[in-house]
Amino acid sequence: MAGRDAVVLVPAAGVGSRLGPGGPKALRLLAGESLLAHAVRRLVSAPSVAAVVVAAPAADLQLVRQLLADLPGDRELIVVAGGAVRQESVRLALEAAPGELDIVLVHDAARCLVPPELVERVADAVRSGAGAVVPVLPMVDTVKRVDEVDRVVATVDRRALRVVQTPQGFRRSVLREAYRAAAGDPDQAVTDDAGLVEGLGGAVLTVAGDEEAMKVTRPFDLVVASALLERRLDRHRL
């Protein structure tokens, strides 16, 4: 059984404009509790996780600490001010992470129902020697490539395509080097942390993702997440 040798960085300072008005996305409510609290509760349920570092909106640090104060478990919980963009929040969280933990996971608070089993799969892959790991799901929809006027120019072969989730896992040295390189290239824009490793030519391993690790981005996603949460509660009642 794995020991507690992983730290999870949770960038949670974003506004989440696609979710509509209502404050920072991570603090929006799902079944009466913030997305962030749902996510952290599941993260600390994973046996590998020793600590969680949340990069929160600078104006809401005390509120975030209060929201997370009553979560079960004895994992170390650190709350720091995040940055204006996601990459800056991850960098600040990484700087605050306990230095003795070599396995670093990065998780989006918007994936608030992440199963602890998925967290363990990612951590196990890093523990087994991978420098960078991402959980993925097969692409199930037909994908079209379009031109500048939205005219279809090709149908993409989806057999080699995957949808990427979080948590993404890294050896601390690998993630630190990726962010050091990104700081020297301000024009580099990526949508996930593994993309920074790819930019350096590093190998990124994939493991099986989980449909429950869906990302809450739009109002409809809250409806889906609420249904998933209710289904999980029903299973525990049986």
Q: Cα separations (Å) of 154 from 25, 99, 142, 158, 232?
A: 35, 48, 11, 12, 40
Split at pLDDT 50, 70, 90, the class of 182 is confident
Share of the chain above pLDDT 70, in %: 92
Q: How confident is the model at residue 238 (pLDDT cuts 50, 70, 90)?
A: very low
Per-residue pLDDT tens for 112-165? 999 999 999 999 999 999 999 999 999 999 999 999 999 999 999 999 999 999
Per-position DSSP letters for 161-214, written without gaps between them = -EEE-S-EEEEHHHHHHHHHHHHT-TT---SSHHHHHHHTT---EEEE--GGG-
CA 32 to chain centre: 21
67-126 tens-digit pLDDT: 999 887 789 999 999 998 899 999 999 999 999 999 999 999 999 999 999 999 999 999
**How does 45-69 read in b/e, with b if 16+ C-beta sit within 10 Å?**
bbebbbbbbbbbbeebeeebeebbe
Look-up of token digits 């890093």: 126
Domains of the chain listed by start with CATH number: 6-237 (3.90.550.10)
Residue 48: the pLDDT is 97
Q: Give the model's pLDDT for residue 24.
A: 85
**Cα separation, 54 vs 44, whole angstroms:** 13
Instruction: Give the pLDDT band of residue 234 (cuts 50, 70, 90).
Output: low
